[in-house]
Structure 1
């Protein structure tokens, strides 16, 4: 250990004013003891608005399980922004994210990312993963909700001859459907995969275009008659998932809701939790804004130009924790009003309940 300390001191002298790891970072951008990084190896346009970004992570990355997500950081105009994205690559392969150009950060990633770019990373997380034991599966997805399920399909179907997977995917048109051609090719190649596309605007046929109706079991019975006997995974917009949850609870067998696993891209907010709102003051940034009781503190800060820490933006990763200086906040998921001086507040799922001062 003494020899290692001597070597480190010698390296520091030789690289002053930079730290040794900073010099190493100039040689190998993935080498950093401070921040996990990845280099973009391939960029694939999936649809007019969606792009898959393949990357090779540096040391410290944990291999992902199919269906997990990871926080990804990207610098825009000199400011690092963090967002959470599902990993769409098969487990055991270098990771990839599939990003749809919605919002400033996702649009920058989808439109501007090039091979050789550096992404800032956090390790994979999430329990939206394949069941431990083989069983018939139903994958119910809409829009970009297909991305974690695509990782599952790519992982399971080619490797397990006993796989039995039915995918029902809802998209606006065939051109908007993520991985459309690849899924049809996989279904042709592997008998254990059945793919049913549902198009809400234009199917390219004379069939009427409408939303997949989950208010009762009629559409689901037509697409997958044995849906009650399958372990189901659902991912997509909040209304889609809410309808699926209600259907499983109402029309499935008594215990079928336990066979429905949900992955949400936004927090499940309690209806009517918005209160009076208030004036939010961001003390270090010297900014303030008057907001309603249904506006998260994270959105309030970003709306007035404050650089807010964030990650999943749905109350899971706790990357947005910010000290409360004064005031009370309302949890948008439960309606609970809380707040003590110095308390760390999840700004993505809390709103102002009167005047609020944040230490940022």
Structure 2
């Protein structure tokens, strides 16, 4: 709708149904749905916020929340990008049945996970799976402001084919100098060459991808376990967590009272711990920020080691009792951790810990 002289274009409110105008496949079981109000009203929202859709599934309507993946700079339309999870109902209906021309009820936008009003800082976006959607909105917003942004963008996925928005991100990165892309995948695609990072995101990768991460504001979104691991990495590296922001797949916050308070274990330099080296009949007092390896060396004990930052696995030892805080870089398997093994180079004692050394 072209505004008439003396008239302002109306702003959309959730009293008006939204019409689906385009559907774009993004990845396996992932599609982007674009909406416009039939009245021609424009959208007002912040990059990173979400929308709640009222979906007419068989058996009765359900409400599902989706992060907006488009940029508020382009306010004539609004897009959400959805990925079907096992057992999903609303998202599965959208992927199978929602087509251009259909109109649905929507509520919002809302949410506190978004860019600040004047986003002129340095950013580190870390995402996994469909958690990339708010990062896409934020990155596109910074790109479309007409200034060279300063973004380190890290996206993790199971396979290269699962990297949502890869082509669009690569296009934006080819037009500015300040958008640095880093993709991490766990598995290969058959008959396709992958030359990027492979494995699980870890602190070693972070240092290689973004060596000035301490100077950036971090925005993170993905499965809960992934975000827990990212916080552990940042805590272990001394990052100022007041500059860390995350969104949850399960319950995006609409008010400050709903914001998650993290109960992360962070080793403290002024808190005393004790390590008992059972096989050597040696006990040593230390700080929680000391590693098992460092304390063993100070006590004259030899634990074979190599990289000293959790990659090679040379310093793997058996923990007999107690708790440690360990942030490694892939040098130990989940099965070994479950069996009680730790990497001495990156394990910090919490209270009294006994190891087979």
Q: CA deviation at 1:37?
A: 1.5
Q: CA deviation at 1:99?
A: 0.7
2:185 to 199, 210, 226: 199
Q: What SS class does the counterpart of residue 124 from structure 1 fall into? A: strand
Task: Using structure 1 for the length normalisation, give the TM-score.
Answer: 0.61
Residue matched to 2:106 = 121
Residue matched to 1:260 = 244
d(CA) in 1 for partners of 2:196, 2:133: 27
Gaps of 5+ in 1: 1-32, 267-313, 319-332, 335-360
Gaps of 5+ in 2: 1-12, 256-261, 264-357
Q: CA deviation at 1:72?
A: 0.5
User: Aligned runs of 1:200-279 on 2, under 5 Å?
Assistant: 200-202=186-188, 204-205=193-194, 209-213=198-202, 217-253=203-239, 256-266=240-250
d(CA) in 2 for partners of 1:143, 1:315: 16
Give the superposed CA RMSD: 2.6
d(CA) in 2 for partners of 1:141, 1:83: 21
Residue matched to 2:323 = none
Q: What SS class does the counterpart of residue 56 from structure 2 fall into? A: strand
Q: CA distance change for structure 1 residues 190 and 136 in 2, over 3 Å: closer, same or farther?
A: same
d(CA) in 1 for partners of 2:177, 2:42: 34
1:45 to 25, 30, 39: 25
d(CA) in 2 for partners of 1:155, 1:34: 23
d(CA) in 1 for partners of 2:174, 2:196: 23
Q: CA distance change for structure 1 residues 78 and 120 in 2, over 3 Å: closer, same or farther?
A: farther
Residue matched to 1:323 = none
Residues 226-254 of structure 1, C-alpha deviations (whole Å, 9 max, x = no match): 1111111100010111111222223124x
Residue matched to 2:277 = none
Residues 48-102 of structure 1, C-alpha deviations (whole Å, 9 max, x = no match): 2100000013679851211100111110125111000000011132111001122
Q: CA deviation at 1:153?
A: 0.9
Q: CA deviation at 1:157?
A: 1.4
Residue matched to 2:37 = 57
1:96 to 52, 59, 79: 79
Q: CA deviation at 1:221?
A: 0.2
d(CA) in 1 for partners of 2:195, 2:180: 23
Count of matched residue positions in the alignment of Structure 1 and Structure 2: 237
Residue matched to 2:165 = 179
d(CA) in 1 for partners of 2:71, 2:232: 31
Residue matched to 1:67 = 48
d(CA) in 2 for partners of 1:64, 1:187: 24
Residues 87-137 of structure 1, C-alpha deviations (whole Å, 9 max, x = no match): 001113211100112201111112221000112100100111113341111
Q: CA distance change for structure 1 residues 34 and 72 in 2, over 3 Å: closer, same or farther?
A: closer
Q: CA distance change for structure 1 residues 51 and 148 in 2, over 3 Å: closer, same or farther?
A: same
Residue matched to 1:135 = 121
